[in-house]
Amino acid sequence: MDRKRVLTFVILLLIIAMFVPFNLKIEYRHIALYDIQSILWYIQLPPESYSLLENPELWFERLQGEIGLWAFVRMIGFSFVRLILVGVVFLYYKGRTSREIVLMAGIITELQSNIIFSLFLFISPMHNIYPIILIPIPILTLLVLFVVLRYPRKEPEEPWLEGATT
């Protein structure tokens, strides 16, 4: 890809990384609670006992969430590797990293929230009263993998390590 397309693609990836959800959190209390999480927003859906079709006013009253700076502050710890993945893709198309590094960064991106949340539960066992499941939503990683595999960069004529000076 030429420089303009790479820059456009990286900006598009940055927008996707910020706005597209990365996680579905299911917390089982006496009923199941669902959170859909993104870097800039999250929504806690009403419990299953409130039906959207039967009583939409009550369902929308129970809908909770945040958008903007406070959501960013809450979610960045669970999702900052998504921003690093965008940078790794940029470095890949500049010829400074390999496709394998991009693939590994994509896998780490999807596992990050589970790892951080598990550490949080281990450090703070009081939050471990109710079972919680985190399900990754790999939209960003799948898009990156598709584009990197479909449009590989031109391989340099000489390996980049040979030209390095010590």
**pLDDT tens per residue, range 24-50:** 888 887 777 788 888 888 888 777 655
Kindly report which listed range (26-40, 97-111, 115-129, 133-147) carries the lowest average pLDDT score.
115-129
CA dihedral 90, 15, 104, 143 (to 10 degrees): -100
Indicate the SS3 state at residue 41: strand
- The residue written with tokens 């550490």 in the block is 119
Q: Walk across the sheet containing 41-45 and list its strands.
A: 64-67, 41-45, 32-37, 23-28, 132-136
pLDDT band at 165 (very low <50, low <70, confident <90, very high): low
**pLDDT at residue 34, rounded to an integer:** 83
**pLDDT at residue 143, rounded to an integer:** 94
pLDDT higher at 14 or 121: 14
Per-residue model confidence as pLDDT tens digits over 45-84: 777 655 666 666 666 666 777 788 888 888 888 888 999 9
Q: Domain-by-domain residue ranges, the chain?
A: 3-150
Per-residue model confidence as pLDDT tens digits over 5-20: 889 999 999 999 999 9
